Amino acid sequence: MKAAVIVMSDPKSGTEEALGRVFNALATAYDFRQNGDEVTIRFHGTATRWIGELSKADHPAHELFEAVKDDVAGVSCACADVFGATEEVETSGFDLIKDNPVPGTTGMSSLQKLVADGYTVLTF
């Protein structure tokens, strides 16, 4: 089984829903990983801001993030540009994904390629 976990919630919203969504995304990736399935995690839109937040040792989802960190393929490049997360992503060592060359952008992460590669796409 192959799963692509796409995080789209905004940490700057300050809501419990945003934290719940990222926590559930990471927990879902952990579940797939623990069962020996292939899993990839990508951050899109405002969720590109999560990289900086989840990297903080005192964040409630930090430990879970560390457990699935190797499954993070990266973040959508154009989204990181638009939402001011590019520097944090680069500092953290995660890739900026540009495999969907959307006109007028630096490139985005392609969901079509994931589906074509047999991934089930799950969004949070």
What's the confidence (pLDDT) of residue 61?
Answer: 96
In order of 11, 37, 42, 77, 118, the CA distances from 19 in angstroms are 7, 25, 16, 22, 28
Q: Which domains does the chain have, with CATH numbers?
A: 2-123 (3.40.1260)
What's the confidence (pLDDT) of residue 120?
Answer: 98
DSSP for residue 84: T
The backbone torsions φ and ψ at residue 110, rounded to the nearest 5 degrees and listed phi first, read -90, 115
Low-confidence residues of the chain: pLDDT under 70: none
DSSP for residue 118: T
68 close to 59: Cβ distance less than 8 angstroms: no
What is the residue whose two structure tokens read 């419990």?
Answer: 16
Using alpha carbons, select from 102, 12, 99, 3 the residue that is nearest to residue 48. 12
